[in-house]
Structure 1
Amino acid sequence: MKPLSFKSLKQMLDTLRTEEECRVYLETLRWNGKPVCPHCGSISEHHYKLTQNGEFKGLYKCRDCKKRFTIRQGIMFEDSNLPLRTWFHAIYLVFISKKGISSCQLARELGVTQKTAWFMLQRIRHNMKDDDIDFDDTTQVDETYIGGKTKRNKGGQGRSTKQKIPVMGLLSKGKVHTRVIPNAGKDTLQGVIYNLIKEGVTVVTDGWKGYRGLGKKYKHKVVNHSKSLFKFYLITS
């Protein structure tokens, strides 16, 4: 399954209709075809796939340490019986809410109890914390705009919007740092990078002009990709 960047909640829900489709999507994003054992860290496309009544539902057995695991282990979905589709829906709502979202509102949107919505919010917010991140290894950097539809300037890339909220994300060693920024200009983006990332580290960005010149202090690699903060968060949560 090819990883997708969703442009709307409707598109996401129309595409990921079942738990199986959500599981495969999440595995593709996080593992890219090579499952990672959360117990010993073994990475292999040859981990054993365990079936239940002849059907594989995402339960693996590590070929090295022999322990069982699923895509949920080691991330915020662990020890939760809630469908991944419900989690994805909740994450999307949290990220597009300019002023935040309460557990009562989230409960109404998802059709769950307020207690369940509160639990989900705590998990999501906890995974957005970045207190223990050290940017001394390869770091991926991206930025996006959160909010409703706005008109784009002719010839622009959407970064010049005024009514949306610009958010910058940095990913390193499986952990993510996100912060609201005043704009996506060169001074702002590179100011955050210089402040957080150790000089000489490999920095991976897209081709936005705001990242030009990073090669003076970093090993700068440029890739072309479609932005999706939702996808970015699922990979790193």
Structure 2
Amino acid sequence: PLTKWFLAIYLLTQRKTSVSALQLKRDIGVSYNTAWKMKHKLMQVMLEREKGKKLSGRIEIDDAYIGGERPGKPGRGAAHKAPFIAVVETEGEEHRPQRMQLRTVSGFRSAEIERYAKTSLEVGSIVVSDGLACFKAVGKAGCHPIPFVSEGGRKGVEHPSFKWVNTLLGNVKNAITGTFHSVSL
């Protein structure tokens, strides 16, 4: 019945951590296959609803890699790592997060960031970054880049200008490694 769909919507949108199909099955009292299909249909609808919307206002952006630790070249340029950007729209004096995006990129080059900004950011947005040179390209898309060159390591991550994008990246990393800690955006 329709009440199971509404319960599934509530459970998928109100928890800080992801809900597995197995947990959804238990929570709403349906078969595993039904729970899996419901979850994926709802996730697809959420994705499609947000697809054409652009982030606006004050935006935090940062670069990251996904791929895990392996022998060989570490960090930038490692063959097994996939580059992506994490972007968080904030509002108000407290810069409370409103929406976020994770986007894979072919690399951290100006042309790639400009292309992202033109399709995903509203003209006039203020884009706060860590000073990586490619993020200046948001200016070519009509946004206002504000680079904060911060120290590397822990001090750079703790810089208050990047609070929400770093929270997002920390949660992504922990979710991938299986050590997700519930931190609310």
TM-score (norm 1): 0.42
- Equivalent residue, structure 2, for 1:80: 11
What is the rounded CA distance, in whole Å, between the counterparts of 1:110 and 1:160 in structure 2?
A: 40
Higher normalized helix content (fraction of residues): 2
Corresponding position of 1:177:
101
1:161 aligns with 2:78: yes
Letter of the 2:85 counterpart:
M
Distance in 1 separating the partners of 2:62 and 2:8: 24
- Hey, what's the Cα distance between the residues in 1 that align with 2:14 and 2:57? 34
1:134 alignment partner in structure 2: 54
Q: Relative to 1, partners in 2 of residues 1:148 and 1:111: Cα closer, same or farther, differing over 3 Å?
A: farther
Q: Unaligned 5+ residue runs, structure 2? A: 1-6, 27-31, 91-97, 151-155, 158-165, 176-182
Mapped partners of 1:211, 1:195: distance in 2: 15
Distance 2:107 2:12 in 1: 39
Equivalent residues of 1:169, 1:179 under 8 A apart? yes
Distance in 2 separating the partners of 1:136 and 1:178: 15
- Provide the secondary structure at the position in 1 that maps to 2:102: strand
Letter in 1 for 2:170: S
Is contact 1:152–1:160 with CA below 8 Å preserved after alignment? no
Q: Which residue of 2 is the match for residue 190 of structure 1? A: 114
| C-alpha spacing 1:228/1:152, structure 2 compared with 1 (3 Å) | farther
Distance 1:111 1:145 in 2: 33
Could you tell me which residue of structure 2 aligns to residue 117 of structure 1? 36
CA contact (8 A) 1:167 1:179 kept: yes
- TM-score when normalising by structure 2: 0.51
Distance 1:221 1:205 in 2: 5
Distance 1:184 1:125 in 2: 28
Report the CA distance between 1:110 and its aligned residue: 9.8
d(CA) in 1 for partners of 2:124 and 2:137?
A: 13
8 Å CA contact 1:138, 1:172 repeated in 2: yes
What is the DSSP-based 3-state SS (H/G/I as helix, E as strand, rest coil) of the residue aligned with 2:62? strand
Partners of 2:71 and 2:83 in 1: how far apart?
15
AA matched with 1:167: F
Residue 229 of structure 1: how far off its partner (Å) = 5.9
Please tell me whether the aligned partners of residues 166 and 181 of structure 1 are also in contact (alpha carbons under 8 angstroms): yes
Aligned residue identity for 1:120: K
